[in-house]
């Protein structure tokens, strides 16, 4: 039998086998295509996620304030995810008083009027586990609300419904494992939970947490160099700047400068009569007046003088461009004139003046600390000579201060070693020679040398 005359049954069986084989190949090919398409979709999704997180990282590390960066990040995140609105709650306070506070940092799709919801949010403060931000804070992980009205722990639910919002989710901003803020997002449609989106935004929250961390570090650095009452540079900051000026002077002697040490006269009277709070107000007002004068260029034409609060009622000013004692005294005199105008403190008119010490930078001056110490000595000399005046430091002040210190040490040692002797000396009447009284004298026994 030839191939052209095969058994029809055999041909049918062969055709069925071939058909099954072809179908299997088609299924395999379709499966491969599906896998390839899914792989491409996954790859595209992964690329999108990487691009998203990369952009968030760039925002977290760029310059600008926390408010500016978070506002940009919220807008970018909403546009990327398709959600309509977002807001940031910031964790603040100490101990049991810590709460999630509204920041008024928003992104809202212009197509939606959320003014009522924004106003309600501005009045909300959440403890741990309260509301959406508090729940995120308490759990330390993202929270998804598919339908706002279906949850009882959403105090803004009614106003959200009136504003056309149906779904929400929130993710924490983290520094390590510490929650420092919560970003909340809103949609006008009920939204099924999207674990992939939550994971991605959780990672974004970790990235943005670095923004808060950097801001904290910057604040700590600022606080370490500034006076908390006046906001002026403190002693540490001032000495750094004087040290830098000393180094510049060593390279170029034409870059002269002086240090003014300012102590308010009769400040204790204000404290004792009006109270310490009034004293703080006076310190703040004096600092503000001096700072404004410097900014107007009244000490130096370019307004580069540096004002600092050293503590108590003491201020210092680094005045660049001063090459002669006459220039330095002129700067001190202008400061005195500035303080003559009275200050208004709690309904009282307070008049004050200042004792000012001046130290000129010279080749004999050593460190910044020494220069400030010289100005301090000159200030005490001004106060001793009647207050409301200025004195220029000279070397005799150092010798006098050293003598006073030595004398104080010797007096303390004499008390310790019982070297003081009490003597009574009679007071004799010239008229009759009789003793009418006695005066007590303390004599200090010193060694012959």
Number of neighbours of residue 222 by Cβ within 10 angstroms: 11
Total count of domains within the chain: 2
Question: Does residue 295 carry a pLDDT above 60?
Answer: yes
pLDDT of 213 reads: 87
Residue 28 lies in a domain: no
3-state secondary structure (DSSP) of residue 432 = coil
Q: What order of strands is seen across the sheet that includes strand 143-145?
A: 99-108, 85-92, 178-187, 167-175, 143-145
Q: Is residue 330 part of a domain?
A: yes
Query: What is the DSSP pairing of strand 354-360 with strand 390-392?
Result: parallel
According to the model, what pLDDT value does residue 399 have?
66
C-alpha 117/C-alpha 115 separation (Å) is 5
User: 235-263: string of b/e by CB count within 10 Å (b at 16+)?
Assistant: bebbbeebeebbeebeeeeeebbbbbbbb
pLDDT of residue 265: 92
The mean pLDDT value for 115-126 works out to 94
pLDDT in tens, 41-58: 655 566 767 787 888 888
Tokens at 408, concatenated? 């104080």
Instruction: Tell me which residue of 250, 241, 200 sits closest to 47, measured CA to CA.
Output: 200
Distance between CA atoms of 362 and 249, rounded to whole angstroms? 9
Read off the tokens for 279: 């004293």
How far apart are alpha carbons 317 and 299 in whole angstroms?
Answer: 10
- Measured from the Cβ of residue 160, the count of other Cβ atoms closer than 10 Å reads 23
Task: Report the run of H or E that residue 441 belongs to, with start and end.
Answer: strand 435-444
- Residue 314, domain member (yes or no): yes
Is pTM, for the whole model, over 0.85? no
Choosing from 203, 223, 243, the residue where a domain stops is 223
Both 198 and 272 in one domain: the answer is no
Query: What mean pLDDT do residues 183-209 have?
Result: 91
Residues 283 and 161 in one domain: no
Instruction: Establish if 23 belongs to a structural domain.
Output: no
Domain identity same for 325 and 196: no
For residue 249, the domain's CATH number is 3.30.70.270
CATH number of the structural domain spanning residue 192: 3.30.450.40
Residues 181 and 66 in one domain: yes
If one compares 49 and 415, the residue with the highest pLDDT of the two is: 415
Q: Is 352 in the same domain as 301?
A: yes
Residue 183 backbone phi and psi in degrees, to 5: -100, 130
The 3-state DSSP class for residue 361 equals coil
Asked if the structure places residue 418 within a domain, the reply is no
Nearest to 240 by CA among 195, 306, 179: 306
Q: Is 112 part of a structural domain of the chain?
A: yes
Residue 190: helix, strand or coil by DSSP? coil
214 and 140 share one domain: yes
pLDDT value for 220 = 84
For residues 130 and 153, give the distance between their C-alpha atoms in angstroms, rounded to a whole number: 7
Predicted confidence (pLDDT) at residue 408 exceeds the cutoff of 90: no
Same domain membership, residue 272 and residue 216: no
Q: Is residue 157 part of a domain?
A: yes
Based on the domain organization, do 245 and 390 belong to the same domain?
yes
Q: Rounded mean pLDDT of 320-327?
A: 87
> What's the rounded Cα separation, in Å, for the pair 148 and 33?
40
Rounded to an integer, what distance in angstroms lies between the CA atom of residue 125 and that of residue 99? 6
Bridge partner residues of 378 (DSSP): none
What are the pLDDT digits (tens) for 131-143? 999 999 999 999 9
- Residue 346 CA, chain-centre distance (Å), reads 29
Nearest to 401 by CA among 415, 417, 384: 384
Question: Which are the contacts of 177, defined by CB distance < 8 A and separation ≥ 6?
Answer: 140
Query: Is 80 exceeded by the pLDDT of residue 427?
Result: yes
In angstroms, the CA 184 to CA 120 distance is 14
Query: pLDDT at position 1, please?
Result: 47
336, 201: one domain: no
Structure tokens at 216: 């904290």
Residues 217 and 239 grouped into a single domain: no
pLDDT at res. 127? 94
Q: Contact at 8 Å (CB) between 182 and 170?
A: yes
User: Residue 212 contacts by C-beta under 8 Å, 6 or more apart in sequence?
Assistant: 66, 173, 175, 180, 181
Q: Are residues 67 and 216 in the same domain?
A: yes
Query: By C-alpha distance, which of 263, 412, 275 is closest to 348?
Result: 275
Could you list the residue range(s) of the whole structural domain that residue 357 is in?
A: 235-411
pLDDT grade, residue 384 (50/70/90)?
confident
In a domain, 424, yes or no: no
Helix axis angle for 368-384 and 235-251, nearest 10°, is: 110
Question: Are 218 and 268 contained in the same domain?
Answer: no
H or E stretch covering 429: none
């Amino acid at each position: 039998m030839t191939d052209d005359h095969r058994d029809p049954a055999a041909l049918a069986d062969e055709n069925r086998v071939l058909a099954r084989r072809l179908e299997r190949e088609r299924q395999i090919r379709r499966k491969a295509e599906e896998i390839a398409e899914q792989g491409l979709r996954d790859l595209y999704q992964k690329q999108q996620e990487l691009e998203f997180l990369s952009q968030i990282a760039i925002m977290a590390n760029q310059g600008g304030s926390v408010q500016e960066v978070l506002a940009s990040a919220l807008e970018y995140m909403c546009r990327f995810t398709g959600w309509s609105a977002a807001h940031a709650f910031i964790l603040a306070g100490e101990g049991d008083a810590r709460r999630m506070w509204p920041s008024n940092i928003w992104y809202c799709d212009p197509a939606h009027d959320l003014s009522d919801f924004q106003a309600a949010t501005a009045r909300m403060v959440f403890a741990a586990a309260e509301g959406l931000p508090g729940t995120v804070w308490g759990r330390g992980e993202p929270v998804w609300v598919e339908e706002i009205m279906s949850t009882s722990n959403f105090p803004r639910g009614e106003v959200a419904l009136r504003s056309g919002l149906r779904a929400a989710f929130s993710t924490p901003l983290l520094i390590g494992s510490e929650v420092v803020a919560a970003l909340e997002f809103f949609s006008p449609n009920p939204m099924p939970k999207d674990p992939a989106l939550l994971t991605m935004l959780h990672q974004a929250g970790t990235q943005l947490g670095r923004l808060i961390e950097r801001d904290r570090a910057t604040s700590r650095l600022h606080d370490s160099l500034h006076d908390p009452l006046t906001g002026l540079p403190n002693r540490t900051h001032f000495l750094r700047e004087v040290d830098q000026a000393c180094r510049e002077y060593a390279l170029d002697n034409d870059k002269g400068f002086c240090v003014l040490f300012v102590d308010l006269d009769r400040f204790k009277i204000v404290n004792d009569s009006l109270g310490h709070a009034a004293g703080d107000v006076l310190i703040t007002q004096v600092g503000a007046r001096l700072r404004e004068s410097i900014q107007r260029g009244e000490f130096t034409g370019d307004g580069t003088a540096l004002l600092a609060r050293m503590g108590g009622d003491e201020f210092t000013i680094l005045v660049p461009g001063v090459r002669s004692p006459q220039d330095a005294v002129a700067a001190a005199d202008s400061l005195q004139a500035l303080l003559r105008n009275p200050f208004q403190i709690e309904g009282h008119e307070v008049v004050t003046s200042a004792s000012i010490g001046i130290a000129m930078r010279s080749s004999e001056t050593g460190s910044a600390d020494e220069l400030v110490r010289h100005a301090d000595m000159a200030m005490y000399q001004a106060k001793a000579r009647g207050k409301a005046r200025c004195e220029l430091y000279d070397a005799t002040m150092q010798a006098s201060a050293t003598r006073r210190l030595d004398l104080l040490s010797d007096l303390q040692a004499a008390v310790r070693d019982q070297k003081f002797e009490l003597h009574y000396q009679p007071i004799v009447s010239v008229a009759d020679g009789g003793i009418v009284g006695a005066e007590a004298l303390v004599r200090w026994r010193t060694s012959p040398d």
